Structure 1
């Protein structure tokens, strides 16, 4: 009876069943769901012009109180509203840059791993050159050349993300392309693009899914670092890295201005890493028992 129940489950249901047993992964998933809900609701709860970026010198540097739960910064802006609204920037940049890098990296890696030869050499040597340059440096160059706005920052970070997905996709495709079901698909007369899209890439999803969660975390840190340096999201937008940069001069007497956005970055990245570790274990067939 138990064997029949296991067989009746789909692969997604089996992965979800194993993921639910990982407490760390479920805590991370719960935090991320809450963060997304807060990011969506912040636009309806707070008025952007008055409560998020509006300057009120009479309220500057107030500690946490019943009206301002996280206190106010040096310009009298409510830190609670800015942190919640700032989740929008971090999630859009993190998810957006990883999505673009995922598409570019998987396509390049799949072509390199499947065809090999000159295509593999060109793709991987280009990837090695980009991989050898520090991620922040690539982003600094692109943002400095094309200007500081959300779209340019997104594109700058997706370049570094794509290199990781290219390597993973190439390695996965190379191990799968010689399997019997791939040869059977060719024997049925399917074109190459359909074999790659329907029979090879779906079997490469496990390492790619894990890399997605980890890449979003590292991208959020990179975006915050660029904003801290003054070449990320321009002020007065409430991006977490920019908030850290603006509050560093007041860290001695009003440390909460830096601590709170720093904790937001830390908890978000920690939740993504916990979820990534849980997905890695849930997707590994060797750990089914």
Structure 2
């Protein structure tokens, strides 16, 4: 179930190509490594269960490290802070743009020289624009404050430029590193789980056991997973896209810290539940009698000879 959790964490987030390039190889590597270890070490069912407890515990520890690799939101006027000391947060309209008749449905972000992002040039109070070397800049912006860093360069001759402000986050490489190893150890429990089921269940009930596993996987993971993560992601939205008909569309700005806590909380809870059930399996598992184990071994040898 925790493998589905990690897959859903990359949805509706920035940096999808990087996360996708990490997720797929890490998941494949985890399953291959676990299959090789189970085969080479000739683990019995009890050892496989203990191996699953170890991999899930390591994945849980790596999962908590994500909270230290999170990044905050960039300043956004009318969303996370005021307009240069005027207006109030969570309100795009302020005294500096009250007479501009700005449209809430026209989302065209600009970055001011004060390193604050604005919903659109209109909401930034910009009255004119210029084209300089095929670069569009906005001027006479009543809502844009003074630059935070006085450098004396010509970059601050304009008051706003198209696009979002560049992020100051430096934790992407650290996050991807922890994410890679977390995915590896998470998926290292997938292959041993199937092997443990096939070894613990009698021959005539193995197909039924795999079917029950698939049903529980769908009921507890595939079906509620997207719903649960969708609710967590939507609750982290701080600015929604609203069209001319006042219909709410996609989310434009997320609260990164809130999303990090929610997603990591869900992932951690799923991992803890998984570890609890695996520990219960280790405590309740009873090896079959020697005669039964010998007969199973003989039947396996006979089937191998016939194949």
TM-score (norm 2): 0.27
Name the structure with the higher helix share: 1
Choose 1 or 2 for highest CA Rg: 2
TM-score (norm 1): 0.28
